[in-house]
Amino acid sequence: MTTTALVGYARTSTADQKAGLEAQLRDLEQAGCTKVFREEISSVATNRPQLAAMLEWVREGDTLVVTKLDRLARSVVDLVSITAALKTKGAGLRILAMNLDTATPTGKLMLNLLGSIAEFERELMLERQREGIAKARAEGKYAGRQPTARAKADDVMRLRGEGKSVADIVAALAISRASVFRILADRPSAES
């Protein structure tokens, strides 16, 4: 039989928030967490090592417990990503301040609503973006995507024909080595 655990995650934005971290740790202990991951890092940090360690450590049947939603996720999209990782591992989520527990039907519903709202917001943003591009095109102001390295293929071939090395071409045209090699492979020179 698999044993399950209540796994806590506590986070503060700075080391100056010791009281906040201590309060979270106290609440997680009172909730029955047997393992707690903690870190002092901003939620906007792209790398939260203890969050990653917790997501790696959690097992099927475990429940992640956090005191408040903002201690776990920086956005609804971030929340959806974290809960998807938990779901893949067969673990649940409990947010104490919201009395939300994904082990209950109501908790699952609330989480699905949050995910739906995030998806709706994304669709609205994409729609506004498409409308803005269409308006800019109609006004002749939309230049489109900037040319890629392939737009410099003739220059690559010319410089290579002048005997320049790949490193010289990269420096002269400000494109990557991979792009230079790709262009040279696609358009073999007369010397081959």
Is 10 within the bounds of a domain? yes
Highest mean pLDDT among 4-18, 27-41, 148-162, 173-187: 27-41
Does residue 31 sit in the same domain as residue 97?
yes
Query: Total structural domains in the chain?
Result: 2
The answer to whether residues 67 and 97 touch, using CB atoms and an 8 Å cutoff, is: yes
Strand order from edge to edge, sheet including 6-12: 35-40, 6-12, 63-66, 92-95, 100-101
Identify whether residues 76 and 17 lie together within a single domain: yes
Rounded mean pLDDT of 76-91? 87
Residue 137, in any domain of the structure? no
Last residue of a domain, one of 75, 105, 135: 105
66 forms beta bridges with: 95
Q: Which residue, of 80, 105, 130, is where some domain finishes?
A: 105
Asked whether residue 62 is assigned to any structural domain, the reply reads yes
Which of 141, 152, 159 lies closest to 182 in space, CA to CA? 152
Find the mean pLDDT for residues 91-98. 92
Q: What is the pLDDT of residue 191?
A: 46
In-domain check, residue 77: yes
Measured between alpha carbons, how far is 43 from 82 in angstroms, rounded to an integer? 13
DSSP-derived letter for residue 65 is E
Give the structural domain span for 172: 149-186
Distance CA 189, CA 192 (A): 6
pLDDT for res 122: 75
Residues 178 and 90 occupy one common structural domain: no
Residues 12 and 95 in one domain: yes
Of 71, 105, 139, the domain-final residue: 105
Question: So which residues are the catalytic ones?
Answer: 13
Residue 133 lies in a domain: no
For residue 67, the 8-state DSSP code is S
101 plus 18 within the same structural domain: yes
Residue 98 shares a structural domain with residue 12: yes
